[in-house]
Structure 1
Amino acid sequence: MGVLWFGLLLLHLSWVEAYPSGAPTGACEDMMPRHMGVEPQTSPPPYALLTNTRVYGPGSTVTVTIVGPEYRGVLLEARAPGGLSALGTWWLPPPDTRFLECSGNPQGAVTHSNTNIKGNATVFSWTPPDAVGPVYFMATVAQQRTVYWLNLRSAALFRAPASGLGLSSGTEGVAPGGTLLSAALCWLLCKTLL
């Protein structure tokens, strides 16, 4: 009888630790999915976080896409360099995802709502807070329960000057040479005008 109870307890713990309906709020700061007995991958991630712009302004919407192989689990946040708090507000979570309360914000992060496959067509929408400087997006992406990459980062986004100069559209990060040039120009423009 004791062996049966022990087996049921282990089965319950492995189910709870898998979090098939999304990351727990305890993962907001360290981005760890808490998959019992499973460590993050140490190989280079096959994913990239791409945004539709490198400059944002008050009330603007930034879209984020996780590009790479299909995946089942995700935790996605916006952060300030060196910070652990989730910034801004996520809007209209795509299918098979949901909001996760982080840093006291009910829409501070997005996570998976089930283990259905997500992919390059899954686009996340984020609105920045009123007063913030450079930000980047951070994600943990799980291809499956036992295969995940921790702390993937996007390129930095910079706040547009009050005049609105520098706002751009189109996907940044797609053409490697153009991305570096536009990032450098954006950095110079934002630094001199702020």
Structure 2
Amino acid sequence: MKMLLLPYVILQVFHAVQGYPNGAPTGACEDMLPRHVGVLPQPSPAPYSLLTNSRTFEAGKPITVTIKGPDYRGVLLEARTDGSTNGLGSWSLPPPDTKFLQCTGNPQGAVTHANTNVKGNSTVYNWVPPSITSPVYFVATIAQQRTVYWINVRSATLTRGTYRTTQSVCKEGLKKKTFSVCSLLDRNNSWPWSGYGCRCHNG
């Protein structure tokens, strides 16, 4: 029996030493920490940034995310809202050398590396938003190699796109003098407009 267990033990030790070359484990979904034994995240600012093709989102309309910076080999990428560690929405068409990772019961709740091949600025990730009203941001753990990685690399916050539609309606009403008063408001009902909404009325 001991002889039968020996190969299994050796395999587990090998994975602990080598990390996870074929993708992050589901246990990393919440804290987004690689299970690289004896290796800590880099304390310096990350040389990466997460760029999106839009600062707003609409349910079902894909958003592209690109990791700008030096080439990298490992990644764990999720969409989140403030105060939650759940992966939001679903990712589609994982780019070459990456794959889906099931998080919070969602089979496409995150994207991770499928191997240690080099990924770079031309690697584009596609995220499909759910029907929510809360602002969303993207967060990633990015590894140049097993012993060099950064956590909590965040994008700018995206707001729900219907607010921009509302802004356009208000501006059009003001242009056509449909309304005698047209106020562009932010979340705190104050001026100037900051991308959250507006209110038009007849004085």
Aligned-residue RMSD, C-alpha: 2.7
SS in 1 for 2:162: coil
1:19 paired to 2:20 = yes
Aligned to 2:196, the other structure's residue is in SS state: helix
2:152 and 2:112 mapped to 1: Cα distance? 14
1:135 deviation in Å?
0.4
**Residue aligned with 1:107, SS:** strand
Q: What's the counterpart of residue 182 of structure 1?
A: none
Matches within 5 A, 1:153-168: 153-161=154-162, 164-165=165-166
Give unpaired runs (5+ residues) of structure 2. 169-192
Give the secondary structure class of the aligned counterpart of 1:15.
helix
Query: In structure 2, the residue corresponding to 1:188 is in which secondary structure?
Result: coil
Provide TM-score, normalisation by structure 2: 0.77
Give the Å deviation of 1:120. Answer: 0.3
Instruction: Compute the displacement of 1:10 (Å).
Output: 6.3
Counterpart in the other structure of 2:54:
53
> Following TM superposition, by how much is the alpha carbon of 1:66 offset from its aligned partner in structure 2, in angstroms?
0.4
Distance 1:86 1:141 in 2: 17
2:188 aligns with none
1:11 positional shift: 7.0
* Larger RCO (CA within 8 A; separation ≥ 6): 1
Contact 1:160 1:190 in 2 (8 A): no
1:14 touches 1:36 (CA, 8 Å); kept in 2? Answer: no
- Structure 2 residue 104 is the aligned partner of structure 1 residue 103: yes
Give the 3 Å change call, closer, same or farther, for CA 124–165 of structure 1 in structure 2: farther
CA distance, structure 2, for counterparts of residue 15 and residue 163 of structure 1: 48
Q: How far apart are residue 192 of structure 1 and its match?
A: 4.0
Q: Which runs of 4+ in 1 moved over 6 A?
A: none
Aligned sequence identity (%): 59
1:14 deviation in Å? 3.7
What CA distance in whole angstroms lies between the structure 2 residues aligned with 1:163 and 1:23?
Answer: 37
Cα distance 1:132–1:10, how it changes in 2: closer, same or farther (>3 A)?
farther
For residues 132 and 139 of structure 2, what CA distance do their matches in structure 1 show? 20
SS at match of 1:58: coil
1 CA distance for matches of 2:140 and 2:63? 15
Could you tell me how far apart the structure 1 residues matched to 2:114 and 2:55 are? Answer: 28
Q: How do 1:1-194 residues align onto structure 2 when only pairs under 5 Å count?
A: 9=9, 12-16=12-16, 18-161=19-162, 164-165=165-166, 188-192=194-198
TM-score when scaled to structure 1? 0.80
Partner AA of 1:119 in structure 2 = G
Greater C-alpha Rg:
2
Shift of 1:59: 1.6
